[in-house]
Amino acid sequence: MTGEKNIFAILKTDNPFSSNAAGDPRAARYPDVPGLGDDVFHGLQTLFAQKKQHPHKPCAAAVLGEAGSGKTHLIGRLIEQSQSAAFPYCFAYILPFIDAGQGFRYLLREIINNLTHTYAMGAKHSQFDFLAGKITITLLISAANDAGSEKIRRRALKFQSAPPEILNRRFIPEVMKANMVRYGTDCLLKRNSELHPAFVNVLLQYCFDESKRIAAKQWLMGRVTDARDNRFLNVCDRSGKTPSELEQEAQEILASLDILLNLYGRPLIVFFDQLENLHNTEQIKKFQSMVFFLSDIRKAMLPVAFFRAQDWERKFKLKFDDFCSGRFKANLSDLKGCNRRQSLELIRTRLGTALDDVETSNEMYPFYPGYEDKLHKMLRAQEMHPRQVINRANSLLHEVLHQAPNVRTPEQILENALELRIEEIRINFDHYPPDEARLSLALELYLDNRPDIYPYHVTDITQSSGKAKFVFLSGNVNLPRRKAIPTGFIIDTEFHHSSVAAGIRRGIAFLENRPDAKAVYIRDGRCPFHGPPRWERINALLETFLELGGVTLFLDQEHAPVWYALTRLQFDIQAGDISAPGVGVIRLDYLKRFTASIVDGDAYPAFKALDAYLASGNK
């Protein structure tokens, strides 16, 4: 048996109770506790099977549970089960949108992003590849039948059991790819006239032409792609469309996806998590439209919303219209906590994650023997939320290990939580596609509420509303003994040259109209900014912008995660997911107060560069 000293050393460095939040449910998670949440889990599985059997039946579901009751863990279980269930299903995990005006574009983007991502460890193919593979096989068989080619037919049939594999095989010569796309488009449109022709065309290019997959994915996500990509994919330019037209198109693409999922694929379960972050009436109205669209209009899609019970009672139940609350109430379940046996099991499994390879006298070691009474006293309520159990086990473990209780200030808790999220986003950066609304939220959080100890503070931050595809924030930078400096922030994640040009022009106009003003152009580095000759005019505009005293922040893979992590942290706080013993649930006003200090420092150069620019008196 490993000595007590060694075990204590392991537990001190790898405390299995230090994390009490589930994080991203698409990533790895702690082991399940037998029986915990099973009634909700099985209830939802039955509902998904019913949706597959009766696609016409309108259906939505809601799960209530307080923060720490295991909602995100449950989503993780359902995601894991999606591929191995008796009725396999696709899934999309959606965090709340920020801009209600882009709700359906956001939904489309997130659904395609989820579908095209490979989640299982070592998996080669995404959920979308499964659908694309099935479509490819069907069309190849159909074309082979028409052409009388038994060889191609037989080869295509071989992939029936593993459809995605066909996407990587060269079935047809390069010159025939365009013909196959044309043939497939005609076939599918003949079969179902409701399909969106451009969507079918781009989808089939994804299926038959590997070189077009990246561009096709961007288009399928609803992005306003650049002119060159439009020509490459042979699609119309979206740049002239108004926001409402783009919203409409997003719904049409989702509708077409739904038809194909119903024909070839599996039901798509859309998990809406952290809905506490929907605040205003516009956001709630848009969410209701999404629920109506997914539950009643579409056949292969089923929305499952996760609410904190407190918010459901105080906000959503009152604000939702009769239709929406009725849909959710029809399949409303609540997550119950751990009974005493499950509480102990939760502790045992967590200990097991740290002491897996270590031989101990008892599975509950180091709590048994010696601390049974204390542990049982801590767990004496007959029902406890998993997070509570973990927190209490954590404090007892500190006692057992003779460690001082890990008392941290809210600032330290937030700093640690931010670091964890940055790490998580860096690992799964694709889960967080470029999003100007999230970048803008992070920036506002950083600039607003700065205590006086900082060299500058920003007041009167406002966001211009309009039809522009970029976000424009303006505010006044205040420096000691200086007149307030008007400052503009252009946050841009657009791909189309005209949108990018419009954003930079806005910055130029801002600087030209106010000689003392400052301006910052911020862009997610994943959104290409082409050099000359392709974007010659835009590069010239950027030169002008810089000459007028503006600066640029191109957020690369190292820096952009920090910005997205800030937004994610705000979402998590709003969902009540950040808490610590002795401090309780961290509130949003703490984050607002501490953002400037927790992201300050050498670790976050993008913010440091921003600080340097804003704090300098010169342009």
Partner 1 sequence: MSKGHRTTYICQVLANAFKKHTLDFMTLKQFIRFTSVSERIRLGLAKTGNIKQDDVKSALTPLPETFRCLKYKNSQYLVRNVPNSDLLVGYIQTKRSKTFGQLNQHFPLKKNELIKTVNTLLEKGIVQAKLSSTEKLILCLSAKTAKAQKPGRPVPADIPKTNAESREADKKASIIQFRQAYDAVSKGSDYVFIHHIRRNLKWRHSQFDKMLDTLMVEGYLAAHPGNPGDLAEDEVDDAYEDEFGDLYITVSWRKAV
Q: Could you tell me the two tokens for 522? A: 């911020």
Other CB atoms within 10 Å distance of the CB of residue 529: 17
Q: Residues in the site for partner 1, rule: CB under 8 A?
A: 64, 66-69, 308-314, 317, 334, 336-337, 378, 380-383, 385, 387-388, 391-392, 395, 576, 581-582, 584-585, 587-589
* Nearer to partner 1 (CB atom), residue 383 or residue 516: 383
Nearer to partner 1, 549 or 581 (CB): 581
Please report how close the Cβ of residue 402 comes to partner 1 at its closest, in angstroms.
20
Closer to partner 1 by Cβ: residue 71 or 134: 71
Burial class of 476 by CB neighbour count within 10 A (0 to 12, 13 to 18, 19+): middle
271 close to 41: Cβ distance less than 8 angstroms? no
DSSP codes joined into one string, 57-77: S---EEEE--TTSSHHHHHHH
Of 378 and 508, the one with the shorter C-beta distance to partner 1 is 378
- 10 Å Cβ neighbour count for 84? 8
Q: Is 473 helix (H, G, I), strand (E, B) or coil?
A: strand
Beta carbon of residue 334, minimum distance to partner 1 (angstroms, whole number) = 6
- Tokens at residue 266, please? 């599996």
What gap in Å lies between CA 526 and CA 557, rounded to an integer? 8
Whole-angstrom Cα distance, residue 199 to residue 256?
Answer: 7
**Alpha carbons 386 and 72: distance in angstroms, whole number:** 12
Tokens coding 257: 């996806």
Q: Output the smallest distance, CB 26 to partner 1, in A.
A: 25
Nearer to partner 1, 185 or 391 (CB): 391
At 94, which helix (H) or strand (E)?
A: strand 90-94
Decide whether 387 or 568 has the Cβ nearer to partner 1: 387
Closer to partner 1 by CB, 448 or 600: give it: 448
What DSSP string describes 548-597? TT-EEEEE-TTTHHHHHHHHHHHHHHHTT--EETTTEEPPHHHHHHHHHH
Strands 518-524 and 485-492: what pairing?
Answer: parallel
Please, what is the minimum distance in Å from the beta carbon of residue 451 to partner 1?
Answer: 20
Identity of the residue, 588 or 612, whose beta carbon is nearer to partner 1 in the bound complex:
588
457-463: strand order across its sheet: 457-463, 471-478, 485-492, 518-524, 551-555
Angle between helices 281-292 and 103-115 (to 10 degrees): 50
CB of 65 to partner 1, least distance (A): 8
Q: How far is the CB of 556 from partner 1 (least distance, A)?
A: 35
Question: Phi and psi (nearest 5°) for 288?
Answer: -60, -40
Which residue lies nearer to partner 1 by CB, 456 or 590? 590
CB of 259 to partner 1, least distance (A): 38
Q: For tokens 């992939």, what's the residue?
A: 159
Q: Judged by CB, which is closer to partner 1: 405, or 451?
A: 405
Phi, psi of 368 (to 5 degrees): -110, 135
End-to-end CA distance of the chain: 67
CB of 571 to partner 1, least distance (A): 13
CB of 36 to partner 1, least distance (A): 13
CB of 15 to partner 1, least distance (A): 19
Q: Token pair of 347, please?
A: 């502790």
